[in-house]
Amino acid sequence: MRNLDPLFTPRSVAILGASNDETKYGNWISVQALRMGDRRPLYLVNRRGEPVLGRPTFKRLADLPEPVDLVVITVPAKGFDEAVDDALAAGATAIVAITSGFAELGDEGRATQMAVAERIRAAGAVLLGPNCLGVLDTTSDLFLVSNPLPCGPVGLVSQSGNMALELSKFLADRGLGFSRFASLGNQADLGAADLIRAYARHPGTEVIAAYCEDFQDGRAFVAAAGEAVAAGKPVVLLTVGRSAASNRAAMSHTGALTSGNDVIDAACRAAGVDRVHSPREMADLVAALHRHGSKRARRVAVIADGGGHASTASDIADANGLAVNEFRPSLVAALKAELPPSAGVANPVDLAGAGEQDITSFGRVIDLVLADPDIDSVLVTGYFGGYGDYGPELAAREIATATVMAEHVHRHGKPLALHTMCADSAAADELRRNGIGVFRVVDDAARTLGMLADHADHRPAARQLPPPAEPVTESGYWDARELLKAGGIAFPAARLTTDVLAAAEEIGYPVVLKAMGLLHKSDAGGVAIGLSTQDELRAAHADMVQRLNVAEYCVEQMAGGGVELIVGVRRDSRFGAVLMVGLGGVFAEILKDVAFALAPVTPEEAETLLRGLKAAPLLQGARGRQPVDLAAAAQAVAAISEVGAAHPEIAELEVNPLLATPAGCLGLDARIVLVKN
């Protein structure tokens, strides 16, 4: 772990390029830096030596009266190289490069920034950026960003400045802000993993939010995020889903079925990271995690003050993965005693006008529901917050009821999300002041509870990559078969031969004939199955020789029936080996019933993937069939993942089909695609 104290808690700071010009970063950051007050020495450096913002300046860093820990560079790109040298000479062990004009412009700029980053690392310093918005630590009064940002418990890592600014507004609306913020920019030196690891050890940070466009070393990101989650600091990720996997030409079924988003989702599951899809979603989940932590939320009670809201909210809750289960009889009886005869009390709860007649019934109903051990969370939806419009007396009772509702939530310690069409009311404000999530749209409320439920169900499963094995140099079917056999995968008896008839006599009929040297043998007509006699084999062989002009063949014992799976490992340039498992055979790309994980996986993790497939009932004995040996299938999947992870020279490794039967598993076909040099 690199020491980032000079970046977040420097003893002294210099801004190179400080300016009075209100159109320049050198001005914006200087304005914010002055908020540090007397916390630490601040030196403004301006090549003309003119006063900036009423403060004296220095013409050069070399003129400063003492060494500085942190230098912020805002000068144009043409002066950046010299500025870095001056900063290092002035004693800086952390540099924040606001300057743009490097990798974002192409290869030449990328080479320049890499050379500068290497020089900074060689000097024992760290670089944030270039092309970044700055750095913030509200716990140490460090304000070196272009805009004022709210204070709070959230540590933000962002590759986009504007995304950070938008998130700050959403968080401020929810009463939250930042403990730390680092703008990644081009990540020439420090990356998301470095910052997340530092945030995990920062006492002032409770939740970590990250916006990343390029993960660089994805495995480092997973490791750092996993450490943060293990330390009790949830990590929420927003990303655009870029990955080399989505841009490369697919060479196998595995490649065709794997997207960049699949890889990122697998990485998030491995690390226990919560992935969101917009800044607003991020703010909602961050706020919920701040309020509730890792509390369970899956089994939800829906409470509404109208039948329409009750039914609609129940459907939306279900769509977000929440279970709106019928209440136990004792809870139904207790609710009946509190509500009018026309009220719905089975889940959802429809107060049926109780709000106007007795606003305090909201509090009693919520208390009863939260107390039930079968309920994890509550979704309130409808008009609460609007009853105050009917008169001052009802308004006062509604505000008092809001306070009571919040007290019940905190006492029971279960999540509650409240949607109201009157989100600007005094009662809604009272709920917010008491730490209750208030939403203008019921979809947002239900989605947030759904995300909380997913968070509580996370079981991080990142494993270390195995040491690299002896590299594979050949990629034919027989080579793939032998590699996988050495890794523990069983295959039918087979012979690699030019004399197919002799091989078949040795193995015994029926056999399968496979033409060698073809990437997609079935598509090319290079596989013939169920050959029961010499005549059938001779005819199939002659046909392939004529059509395919192939000399070498694999004669393989014909396997019995079972469920065909596809298992593949594909190497992603950011996250390394990624496992795919799903329903296999020739229709794998059409059915697309697949699941993903970072490789390698354990047999237990592999079994979870298999049980999560839509086709899982086929494995468990659907329609009178015998169930397959699921433990053997999971063991085979795990073994394939180990082989793929141990061979970084293999771009794609695939077994399709892997035949799962009641008696075990057999690989029936395999292929290797080597990394192109």
Residue 14 sits at the vertex; the CA angle it makes with 9 and 20, to the nearest 5 degrees, is 125
Averaged pLDDT for residues 535-550: 95
Domain end, chosen from 557, 589, 612, is at 557
**Which residue, chain included where needed, has tokens 């295959």?**
491
Q: What contacts 440, CB < 8 A, 6 or more positions away?
A: 419, 420, 421, 423
Residue of 251, 113, 132, 120 lying closest to 188 (CA atoms): 113
Same domain, 543 and 568: no
Give 90's pLDDT tier (boundaries 50, 70, 90): very high
Return the CATH number at 159. 3.40.50.720
What is the DSSP annotation of 499-546?
-HHHHHHHH-SSEEEEESS-SSTTTTT-EEEEE-SHHHHHHHHHHHHH
Domain end, chosen from 429, 457, 485, is at 457
The tokens describing 476, both together, are 């034919």
Question: pLDDT value at position 257?
Answer: 54
Averaged pLDDT for residues 569-577: 93
Same domain, 225 and 362: no
Looking at every residue in the chain, the average pLDDT score rounds to 93
Q: Are the CB atoms for 282 and 170 separated by under 8 Å?
A: yes
Q: Give phi and psi for 378, each to the nearest 5.
A: -135, 135
Report pLDDT digits (tens) over 365-409. Answer: 999 999 999 999 999 999 999 999 999 999 999 999 999 999 999
Q: Is the pLDDT of residue 520 over 80?
A: no
Question: Is 670 inside any structural domain?
Answer: yes
Report pLDDT digits (tens) over 274-300. Answer: 999 999 999 999 999 999 999 999 999
Other C-beta atoms lying within 10 Å of the C-beta of residue 344: 18
Strand bridging mode 511-515 / 527-531: antiparallel
Q: Are the CB atoms for 570 and 258 separated by under 8 Å?
A: yes
Same domain, 88 and 28: yes
Respond yes or no on whether the N-terminal peptide bond of residue 468 is cis (omega within 30° of 0).
no
Report pLDDT digits (tens) over 64-87. Answer: 999 999 999 999 999 999 999 999
Write down the pTM of the prediction.
0.92
Q: Are the CB atoms for 350 and 306 separated by under 8 Å?
A: yes
Same domain, 534 and 570: no
Report pLDDT digits (tens) over 617-664. Answer: 999 987 778 999 999 999 999 999 999 999 999 999 999 999 999 999
Residue of 520, 517, 522, 477 lying closest to 495 (CA atoms): 477
Cα–Cα distance, 553 to 479 (Å, whole number): 13
Same domain, 511 and 434: no
Same domain, 590 and 534: no
Cα–Cα distance, 428 to 554 (Å, whole number): 72
Q: Is the pLDDT of residue 574 over 50?
A: yes
Respond yes or no on whether the N-terminal peptide bond of residue 600 is cis (omega within 30° of 0).
yes
**High-pLDDT (> 90) share of the chain, %:** 86
Q: Are the CB atoms for 81 and 103 separated by under 8 Å?
A: no
Same domain, 577 and 543: no
Cα–Cα distance, 446 to 288 (Å, whole number): 12
Q: Are the CB atoms for 391 and 356 separated by under 8 Å?
A: no
**Which residue, chain included where needed, has tokens 């070498």?**
552
Question: Is 525 inside any structural domain?
Answer: yes
Q: Are the CB atoms for 552 and 569 separated by under 8 Å?
A: no
Task: Give me the sheet containing 126-128, strands edge to edge.
Answer: 42-45, 13-16, 70-73, 94-97, 126-128
Report pLDDT digits (tens) over 235-282. Answer: 999 998 554 444 443 344 444 555 688 899 999 999 999 999 999 999
Question: Is 275 inside any structural domain?
Answer: no
Domain count, the chain: 4
Cα–Cα distance, 136 to 41 (Å, whole number): 16
Same domain, 333 and 418: yes
Same domain, 625 and 544: no
Question: Is 472 inside any structural domain?
Answer: no
Question: pLDDT value at position 248?
Answer: 43
Q: Are the CB atoms for 310 and 339 separated by under 8 Å?
A: no
Question: pLDDT value at position 259?
Answer: 62
Return the CATH number at 550. 3.30.1490.20
Identify which has the larger pLDDT, 618 or 417: 417
Report pLDDT digits (tens) over 498-518. Answer: 999 999 999 999 999 999 988
Return the CATH number at 574. 3.30.470.20
Same domain, 147 and 213: yes
What is the DSSP annotation of 372-424?
-TT--EEEEEESTT-GGGG-HHHHHHHHHHHHHHHHHHHHHT--EEEEES-TT
What is the DSSP annotation of 161-225?
HHHHHHHHHHHHHTT--EEEEEE-TT-SS--HHHHHHHHHT-TT-SEEEEEES--SSHHHHHHHH
Same domain, 171 and 45: yes
Cα–Cα distance, 41 to 36 (Å, whole number): 9
Question: Is 208 inside any structural domain?
Answer: yes
Question: Is 23 inside any structural domain?
Answer: yes
Q: Are the CB atoms for 275 and 265 separated by under 8 Å?
A: yes
Same domain, 641 and 547: no
Q: Give phi and psi for 211, each to the nearest 5.
A: -115, 115
Report pLDDT digits (tens) over 441-456. Answer: 999 999 999 999 999 9
Q: Are the CB atoms for 202 and 177 separated by under 8 Å?
A: no
Domain end, chosen from 457, 475, 507, is at 457
Question: Is 488 inside any structural domain?
Answer: no
Q: Is the pLDDT of residue 180 over 50?
A: yes
Question: Is 273 inside any structural domain?
Answer: no
Return the CATH number at 370. 3.40.50.261
Give 41's pLDDT tier (boundaries 50, 70, 90): very high
Q: Which domain holds residue 303?
A: 293-457
